[in-house]
Chains A and B, each alone.
Chain A
Amino acid sequence: MSDKDLKRPKSHLFDNPKNVTRVIRGLLLLCLVLVVLDAVIHRHTAHPWEKVFAFYPMYGFVACVTLVLLAKGLRKLVMRSDDYYGRFEEPPEDGPASRSDDV
C-alpha cells in the first residue's frame, strides 16, 4: 500500500514516455497535413513569395532555428553572472520566500 502511495505522484500525464511520443507524433502528423493542405487548398496571395510551395512552413522552421542559434551566439556576447549588477539579498532558495504579496 505504502509502495503504491509512493508511486502515485509518478503517475502524471507525461511521466509515461509513451504520452510524450504521442505528442511528438501528433505534431509531426499535423505538420505533414498542413504541408499537404498547402498543395490542396487554393490560397489567394498578396505577395509573390507566398506562392512558393510550403513558404510559411519553411519560413517558420528556418526563422525559429535561426532565432535560437543567434540567441545562443548572443549569450556568448551578453551573458554575465547572476550578480553582475551587484548582489542583493539572497534569492529565495527554499520554498516561498517572496511573500510580500501577502503582507
Chain B
Amino acid sequence: MMFNFAPVLPLLIGAFFAALTRGRVRALLMLATPVVGAVLLYTFTPGTTVPVEWMGLELTPVRVDRLSLLFGYLFHLAAFLGVIYSLHLKDTLQLVASLAYAACAVGAVFAGDLLTLFLYWEALAVTSAALVFARRSERAFAAGLRYLLIQVLSGVLLLAGAIAWAKGGHGLEFGHIGTGSIAGKLIFVAFGIKAGFPLLHNWLTDAYPEATPSGTVFLSAFTTKVAIYSLARGFGGTEMLVYIGAAMACFPIFYAVIANDLRRVLAYSLINQLGFMVVGIGIGTELAINGAVAHAFNDVLFKGLLMMSMGAVLHVTGEMRGSELGGLYKRMPKTAILCMVGAASISAFPLFNGFVSKSMIVTAVLEEGYEWVWLALLFAAAGVFHHAGIKIPFFAFFSHDSKHVKQAHEPPTNMLVAMTIAAALCIGIGCFPGTLYRLLPYPTGYSPYDSSHVLAQMQLLAFSALAFLSLKIYKIYPPELRSVNLDAEWIYRRLVPNAFRHALAAVGRVGNQVRSHSFRLVSSSILALARHHRSEGVLARSWPTGSMVLWVAVLLGTTLLLYYL
C-alpha cells in the first residue's frame, strides 16, 4: 500500500480535502486524518527504509526507526488536539495550512536523507508562516515576513551544508553529522535557528504571539520539535550543545518575567524548555537522549495546553497583554483550571508529565559531572515555575479584576475538549510514565518517583512559590507594563535597518556632491568653449573675402616663382 511509503500522505490528503470541503464534512475529515495517520504509523516496523533513486541521487524519503516513530506519533497527536481546538473555525487558509504544516513535520522526521529533509524543512517554513499571516493584521503580516525570512535562511544553510556534506564523500544519508567539518557546522546552525539557539531565537518570540489563537497551538508543537529531533539524530553527544542548552534554559526566563504579552511569555518559556532538551542531546548518553526526547513529547502536551488556554483567553477577550487581563477565573473557571494543569506540568510537579522527563535530563547531567550546568538547570527549573507556572495563570485569571471580566465567558466547547484531553494526557503520563518510556529510543529502567527526587523537586517549587509570594507582598515584583523589551531581534529590526538608512543617506550626500561638482565642471567647460566659439570668439570670427583673395594671390605668386626657379 502506498501509505507504507509515505507517512505524510494521510495528513497531506487531509489538507487537500480540507481546502475543498466545508462544514461538518470538513470537520469530520480533519478529525479522521490524524487518527488514520497514527493507525498507519502503527503498522510500520522500525528498521524499514524506502530507497529511491532520483536524478542519479540515492534518496531515502522514508526511514522508520524508534526515534522517528516516536516523533511521528507525537505529531499526529498534536495535530489531532490542534484540529479539535480549531473545529469552530471557518477560515480555510488556517485549517489547510495547519494540516499541511503537520504533514511536513511528519515528513521531516521520517526523512532518511538530507535533501528530503531540506524539502520538508522549507515546506514547514511556508506552511507555518501561513498561520501567522492568517491573523490578518498589519502587525502579524510584518512578523510573518520576518519569520519566513529567517526560516528560509535556515533552509538555505541546511541545503548548503547538505551539498558540502555530500561533496565530502559522506553521501546524503541523514545520520550522525557532528560539527567537525564546515558542512557539519552549516547544518548545525541551520538546526540551531529552528531550535531557537541564543541570538538565533527571536523569530519565535516575534512571530508566535502574533499568530492566530489556534495557529500558535500548532506552531508551538512542530517546528522546534523537528529541530530537536534533527539535533538528536545529527549531533547527539556534541558537548557544545550542553552549554548552548544551559544558556537557552536560563536567559529567556528573565525576559519571560518582564514580557507583557502572555503568549510571548510562553514563547520565551518554550525556548527555556528547548534548552533542557538541547542539554540532554549534548550529553548524549542513553538516559540523556531518552530524557530529551521524552521532554519534547511532554512539552508538546503541556506547552500546547498552555497555548490553548491563552488562545482561549485571546479568543474570548481579544486581549493578551498581562497588564490588561486579570480576574478571569470568575467567568472562565474551567479554562483557568486547565491552564493550571498545564502550569503544573511545565513546572514539573510530581504526578505531572514535565516531572518524569525533566528529572531524566537533570539526573543525566549530574551523572556526567556537569555541576555548573546542573545548577543552571535547577535555576531554570525554579524560574520556569515562576514565570510559566505562576505568572501565566496569575495575571490572566487572578491578580486584579480587569475590564474583561464583565463580558468574558468560557470558550467554545471544542476548545475546552482539546484542553481537557491535553490535560488528561499531562496527568496520565505524569502518573504512569512507563507508557511514555516504552516508546523511547533506548530501553530504560529509569524511575522518577523515588523519595529523594520528589522531595527535592517539591522543595524547589514550594520555595519558588514562596519567593513569588514574598516579592508580591512586599511589592518588589515587577508590575505588568505595556512595553517592548529589546532582544537580539533589535539587531535586524533596528540596528541594521537604521545602519542601512544612514548608509543610504551618506551615499546620497556623496552622490549630491559628485553631481554638483559634475554640473560645475560641465558649465565651466561650456563657458571655456563659448569663450572661443561664441560670436565674438577668436575661432568664430568671420574673415573678409579680400584677405582670402590676397592669400590666394600670394600662394599663386609663390608657386609661379618656384616654377621658374
Contact = CB atoms under 8 A, between A and B. Distances in A.
B462 interface: yes
A63 B382 contact: yes
Contact of B455 (A43, A85, A89, A102): A43
Interface in A62-103: 63-65, 67-72, 74-75, 77-85, 88-89, 91-92, 95-103
Contact of B254 (A9, A28, A50, A74): A74
Interface string A36-60: 0110010111110010001011111
Given A63-B378, A67-B257, A85-B493, A101 B452 contact: no
Contacts of A96: 315-318
Top-5 shortest CB links A-B: A64-B467, A96-B318, A60-B463, A71-B257, A56-B459
Interface string B306-342: 0000000011111101000000011000000000000
B371 A47 contact: yes
A4 interface: no
A13 B398 CA distance: 10
Contacts of A50: 456
Interface string B136-169: 1111001000000000000000000000000000
Interface of B: 88-91, 134-139, 142, 212-214, 253-255, 257-258, 314-319, 321, 329-330, 363, 366-367, 371, 374, 378-379, 382-383, 386, 398, 404, 407, 450-452, 455-471, 476-478, 481-487, 493-494
Nearest to A70: B254
B485 A80 contact: yes
A9 B483 contact: no
Given A12-B329, A61-B467, A81-B483, A72 B478 contact: yes
B463 A58 contact: yes
Contacts of B321: 91
A97 B329 CA distance: 21
A88 B463 contact: no
A12 to B, nearest CB: 5
A59 B381 CA distance: 11
B484 A84 contact: yes
Contacts of A70: 254
Contacts, number: 190
Nearest to B467: A64
B462 A30 contact: yes
A15 to B, nearest CB: 8
Interface in A1-27: 9, 12-14, 24, 27
10 contacts: A43-B455, A46-B363, A56-B456, A57-B462, A64-B471, A68-B476, A89-B138, A95-B318, A95-B404, A98-B137
B interface, over-half SS:
helix
B319 A60 contact: no
Contacts of A101: 89, 91, 212-214, 315
Given A63-B378, A72-B478, A44 B452 contact: yes
Interface residues of A, number: 60
B532 to A, nearest CB: 59
A2 to B, nearest CB: 17
A64 B451 contact: no
B323 to A, nearest CB: 10
B315 A27 contact: no
Given A95-B407, A98-B135, A37 B484 contact: no
Nearest to B250: A67
Contacts of A12: 329-330
B485 A75 contact: yes
Given A79-B481, A88-B137, A96-B316, A38 B465 contact: no
B467 A41 contact: no
Nearest to A33: B462
B494 A85 contact: yes
B484 A85 contact: yes
Contacts of A58: 463
Given A68-B477, A80-B485, A85-B494, A59 B91 contact: no
A68 B386 contact: yes
Contacts of A56: 378, 455-457, 459-460, 463
A68 B461 CA distance: 15
Given A63-B379, A67-B253, A101-B91, A43 B456 contact: yes
A41 B464 contact: no
B136 A103 contact: yes
B134 A79 contact: no
Given A27-B465, A46-B367, A101-B214, A64 B383 contact: yes
Contacts of A102: 88-91
Contacts of B451: 41, 43
Nearest to A45: B452
Contacts of A83: 484
A31 B366 contact: no
Contacts of A43: 451-452, 455-456
Given A38-B459, A84-B486, A96-B317, 15 more contacts: A60-B382, A60-B462, A61-B463, A67-B253, A68-B477, A72-B258, A74-B255, A79-B486, A81-B483, A82-B484, A95-B407, A98-B137, A99-B318, A101-B91, A102-B88
